[in-house]
A and B are shown apart, each in its own frame.
Chain A
Amino acid sequence: DAKTTQPPSMDCAEGRAANLPCNHSTISGNEYVYWYRQIHSQGPQYIIHGLKNNETNEMASLIITEDRKSSTLILPHATLRDTAVYYCIVRVAGANQAGTALIFGKGTTLSVSS
């Protein structure tokens, strides 16, 4: 799986949009970009994933650049409960990934303050 690079930490004011960047310059054509987050002392929580088109769900939006070498996770209206470590992971998706685990980097610690 391709390697990802994320800033170690970011701050965001409550109610503002949080934009978390991720670089994945060696991504392959069949690899997806996944985002998970981990709130302190809990298991990771799936947020969103995408291949090349922008994606949006009830939690966040994922913007992937046209060359797919980077992406941005957007939390449109950050709340205090969004304070967590956010992980960007690149991997091949689907049922063919038998036995392939998600590998976590260091992620970005997002601190949302009032």
Chain B
Amino acid sequence: GAVVSQHPSWVICKSGTSVKIECRSLDFQATTMFWYRQFPKQSLMLMATSNEGSKATYEQGVEKDKFLINHASLTLSTLTVTSAHPEDSSFYICSARTPLGEQYFGPGTRLTVT
């Protein structure tokens, strides 16, 4: 199957700082990428849908000014958690959609805000 990478795999940051997470589709072009968040012992929750060259669409309850998403190319989407707080500590997972509609997931990024 197609490969999706994320960087970094884990990050620790101080409260009030911003963190950027990268998501790349390595062997296909993804016009659409998705960002999910997963808290311990819970399922994946969709945060936003990112389309190349346009603004992201956020799910209800997700602050667009706090979680900045940029999908500048067909192989790269970034999620920036601005002014991070301890409650933003979570497992962030991106997913990329192939032109045929298949959806592949990255390995996830563990964010810890101290």
SS of B interface (majority) = strand
Contacting chain A: which of B11-19, B78-86, B93-101? Answer: B93-101
B46 at the A interface (CB under 8 A): yes
State how many residues of chain A have any CB contact under 8 Å with chain B: 24
Range, interface on chain B: 20 to 34
Contacts of A42 in B (CB 8 A): 107-108
A50 on interface, CB distance cutoff 8 Å: no
Q: Are A99 and B49 in contact (CB-based, < 8 A)?
A: yes
Q: Are B107 and A43 in touch, CB under 8 angstroms?
A: yes
Docked Cα-Cα span, A107 to B42, in Å, equals: 10
Complex alpha-carbon distance, A101 and B4, angstroms: 16
Which residue on chain B has the smallest CB distance to residue A96? B101
Task: List A contacts of B4 (CB < 8 A).
Answer: 43
Query: Contact at A94–B101, with CB atoms within 8 Å?
Result: yes
Nearest-CB distance from B87 to chain A (Å)?
20
Expressed in whole angstroms, the Cα–Cα distance for A43 and B2 within the complex equals 13
Q: How far apart sit A87 and B95, CA to CA, in the bound complex (Å)? A: 16
Measured CB to CB, the closest approach of chain B to A78, in angstroms, equals: 21
On whether the beta carbons of A44 and B101 are closer than 8 Å, the reply is no
9 more A-B residue pairs beyond the given contacts A43-B107, A98-B31, A106-B43, with a C-beta to C-beta distance below 8 A: A44-B105, A46-B102, A94-B100, A99-B32, A99-B49, A101-B34, A101-B49, A102-B103, A105-B43
Which residues on B are within 8 Å of A, measured CB to CB?
A: 1, 4, 6, 31-32, 34, 36, 43-46, 49, 51, 57, 91, 93, 95, 97, 99-108, 110
> Chain A: residues with CB nearer than 8 A to chain B?
36, 38, 41-46, 85, 87, 93-99, 101-107
